[in-house]
Amino acid sequence: MTSSTRTIISRLLPRQRRTVRLLVTLWFLLLLVLGTLASVTAHTTDAVAPYAVTITSTNFRIPLVTLATDDIRDAGNARFSLQNGTALWYGLNISSTPSGIVPTAANATSDLVSATFLGTTPLLPPAQVLPFDQWNGTYHFETLKLRAAFSGPGQQMQVELTPVEPHAVTLDILTLLLQLLGQKQSNIQVGLLETGVLQDVFSTVDNLKDFSLLKQNYTQVLTASDAASILPHAYACALNITSLLADSNEQTALVDVLWKVQGKAIAREAILKTLIDFTQTQFGLAIEGFINNEMSTMLGMFPMGSNPVIVLQTNSTTTPGVTPSASGTLTSTDVPTHIPMTPSSTIAPLN
Amino acid sequence: MKRIGLLCVFFVCFSSIFLLFPQRVTAIGDTTIIQINGAAQTPGFTPALLTLHVYDTVVFVNRATTSYALVADDGSFSSSIIPVGQQWRVTFSSTGTHEYHTAESPQHMVGEILVVANTVALLPTPVPQIEATTIALIKAGKHPPDVPVLPVTPTPTTTHKATVQKPNVLFSPPVLFTGGGVLLLLAVLLLMISLWRRHRKRIDEEEEMETSLEEMVAGSTSQKSQIEVPPAKKQHPMLASLRWRRSDGDDDDGDDDDE
């Protein structure tokens, strides 16, 4: 209350003062009621579609792999995000009812990472591999911003994140090789974002015998049930890498792949020289030890057979006796990774 | 005197060469950062696998939320407790494999360092400008060139070495700067000494002449016209000026002497 207002009130008689106070209180009450009515009306106006999207997450056990619902009020443009702060690539196994509902990049023109990795081979990149990851104060993470379009009630799309998907394993191995060969810079695999390179890399390494064996053994390491069963596969991986680097035919193809992965920013000759030098180097013990130790630490955090799963589904909101709601909700089993941002006053649609 | 001057010029030129071209030398060994992320971001280190050369240095930077101490499984190194935001460094003087873990979370935080001989070429780090150009091109939906070309503008110095050659300790920038500075200082000192000597010599000559003149003047006063000033002395301009200053009012006598 300003000093001038106080002066005016002080000049009034006591009875007049009481009347003024009453009027002011009534005015505030009126504003409150109008505001509440307006918000309720706005929510009711939004409820154009007779169905809503719900999003459910399962097995998001660690804070390094998270799901966030960006905006799922519009079932035709339900948007959500996936974040990865681990060192592993994840493949995205997608299934839907009816078939054909797939997640696409929410902003295909401005988000190169999402546009690239939600193409023909859906993948969730790890942190510190691409130059566009983010730092949230505690750890780096890579983000995919996705959207799904539903056209009616009763539809469902499921996304399973798996680190043992063959393409994800391929990219894990390439990161491992770059580190082994002495690449000290992180966020260097920008070449994967170049048009056509990702498919080119996959088709090239599929023709390499030792690389295929390495993939098999590395997958065995990732799916090991206990620490004791990791070591033999880690040893096999070390042997496969030694053979891969020593084979002159595979050497050339591998140089080409590593050159493209790094965005051609390093001369091919330099990579070839490194590979040749490494054939004379004792690194088997180091790579075996590294794979064994790293995977043993991850065993407790990424229990196999319980991959993170996201389910988006549309449900009819026109159930008799229930006030229609257009807002989506997120339910989660296990450790919740995200609190829904939609208004809490809404009623969850009935299944 | 000319010789000292030439010597000084030589020293200045010699030291300037080193000061003008410091960019031609590179640092001793490489320094690589390993980030400690904490047990929540298993395996806890980035990069968890690192390959480097003998005499390269690893700096462990603690970016986790708690303090950690590092221990090598083979006992080759162990750190004190590294507080949050602080760092600890270690240099490897021989080839080998070093597995390490944290004392606090040995089952969640592990890493591996492979030290190879300096003759083994490691993958080079891209030149920052080339890398930036590559990223810009890919972001624009274009293909980067097969042979990377550096723009004409001068490139900033890289944090990592661009080649795998190990530079000589004598040509490291701190040594060169210090050497150049010392040489410059020496040249200036020599110049000052030579000037001081020249100045001293001149003063000595003047004093000597003054003394001899005083003796001569004293002799001429006592013996009056019996002793005549030798013609050679009379012709010396400095002596003449001194005589003029000293006599000061005895011009007539001087004139008489001259006559």
Q: Residues A88, A172: contact at Cβ < 8 Å?
A: yes
Segment B171-180 shows an average pLDDT of: 67
Instruction: Give the nearest chain A residue to B116 (CA atoms).
Output: A281
Element holding B111 (H helix, E strand): strand B110-116
- Residues of B with Cβ-Cβ distance to A133 under 8 angstroms: none
Is the minimum CB–CB distance between A6 and chain B shorter than 8 Å?
no
Spell out the alpha helix ranges (H) of chain B. Answer: 2-20, 128-139, 173-223, 231-235, 237-247, 251-258
In chain A, which among 46-65 make CB contacts under 8 A with chain B?
62-64
Is the minimum CB–CB distance between A106 and chain B shorter than 8 Å?
no
Q: How many residues does chain A have?
A: 351
Task: Render pLDDT for A203-249 as a digit per residue (tens, 0 to 9).
Answer: 999 999 999 999 999 999 998 888 889 999 999 999 999 999 999 98
Q: Residues B190, B5: contact at Cβ < 8 Å?
A: no
- Residues of B with Cβ-Cβ distance to A128 under 8 angstroms: 46
Q: Distance between CA atoms of A144 and A67, rounded to whole angstroms? A: 10
How many CA atoms, within 13 angstroms, populate the side-chain half-sphere of residue A342? 28
Q: Quick one: pLDDT at residue A348?
A: 39
Interface touch B124/A266, C-beta < 8 Å: yes
Task: Render pLDDT for A71-125 as a digit per residue (tens, 0 to 9).
Answer: 999 999 999 999 998 889 999 999 999 999 999 999 999 999 999 999 889 999 9
Cα dihedral B60, B168, A179, B88 in deg (nearest 10): 0
Answer with the residue of higher pLDDT: A197 or B43.
Answer: A197
pLDDT classification of B207: cutoffs 50, 70, 90: confident
Q: Is the previous residue joined to A98 through a cis bond, with omega within 30 degrees of 0?
A: yes
Q: Residues B45, B111: contact at Cβ < 8 Å?
A: yes
Closest Cβ opposite residue B138 in set A63, A138, A263: A263
Q: Residues B112, B97: contact at Cβ < 8 Å?
A: yes
Interface touch A186/B46, C-beta < 8 Å: yes
Is the minimum CB–CB distance between A299 and chain B shorter than 8 Å?
no
Please, which residues have CB within 8 angstroms of residue A6's CB and are 6 or more apart in sequence?
none
A&B contacts, CB < 8 Å: 155
Answer with the residue of higher pLDDT: B171 or B125.
Answer: B125
Chain Cα centroid distance, residue A181 = 29
Chain Cα centroid distance, residue B25 = 12
Q: Distance between CA atoms of B103 and B67, rounded to whole angstroms? A: 10
Point out the residues of chain A with pLDDT beneath 70: 1-15, 38-49, 136-138, 300-305, 319-351
Lowest mean pLDDT among A212-226, A275-289, B10-24, B115-129: B10-24
Q: Quick one: pLDDT at residue A276?
A: 94
Reply yes or no on whether the pLDDT at B114 is more than 60: yes
Lowest mean pLDDT among A103-107, A224-228, B202-206, B245-249: B245-249
Instruction: Give the nearest chain A residue to B109 (CA atoms).
Output: A297
How many CA atoms, within 13 angstroms, populate the side-chain half-sphere of residue B20? 6
Q: Quick one: pLDDT at residue A78?
A: 95
Interface touch A181/B42, C-beta < 8 Å: no
Its pTM surpasses 0.80? no
Chain Cα centroid distance, residue A42 = 32
Interface touch A274/B122, C-beta < 8 Å: yes
Reply yes or no on whether the pLDDT at B9 is more than 80: no
* Reduced DSSP (H G I as helix, E B as strand, rest coil) percent helix, strand, coil of chain B, to 5: 45, 15, 40
Q: Quick one: pLDDT at residue B113?
A: 96
Q: Quick one: pLDDT at residue B214?
A: 83
Reply yes or no on whether the pLDDT at B18 is more than 50: no
ipTM of this complex:
0.75
CA distances, A327 to each of A67, A72, A345 (Å): 18, 7, 10
Interface touch B44/A297, C-beta < 8 Å: yes
Closest Cβ opposite residue B126 in set A262, A274, A294: A262
In chain B, which among 219-248 make CB contacts under 8 A with chain A?
none
- Most B CBs within 10 Å, among A297, A301, A302, A335, to test the B interface: A297
Q: Quick one: pLDDT at residue B39?
A: 82
Q: Quick one: pLDDT at residue B178?
A: 75
Q: Residues A247, A210: contact at Cβ < 8 Å?
A: yes
Which amino acid appears at position B126 of this protein?
Answer: P
Chain Cα centroid distance, residue A70 = 12
Reply yes or no on whether the pLDDT at B192 is more than 50: yes
- Residues of B with Cβ-Cβ distance to A301 under 8 angstroms: 42
Q: Distance between CA atoms of B162 and B197, rounded to whole angstroms? A: 51
pLDDT classification of B22: cutoffs 50, 70, 90: very low
Closest Cβ opposite residue A297 in set B37, B42, B52: B42
B74: its two tokens: 């083979």
Q: A81 — phi, psi (to 5°)?
A: -130, 150
In chain A, which among 13-32 make CB contacts under 8 A with chain B?
none
Q: Longest C-alpha distance within chain B, in Å? A: 115
Answer with the residue of higher pLDDT: A91 or B173.
Answer: A91
- Residues of A with Cβ-Cβ distance to B119 under 8 angstroms: 277
Q: Residues A86, A161: contact at Cβ < 8 Å?
A: no
Q: Distance between CA atoms of A111 and A92, rounded to whole angstroms? A: 18
pLDDT classification of B209: cutoffs 50, 70, 90: confident
Q: Residues A332, A60: contact at Cβ < 8 Å?
A: yes
Q: Quick one: pLDDT at residue B96?
A: 94
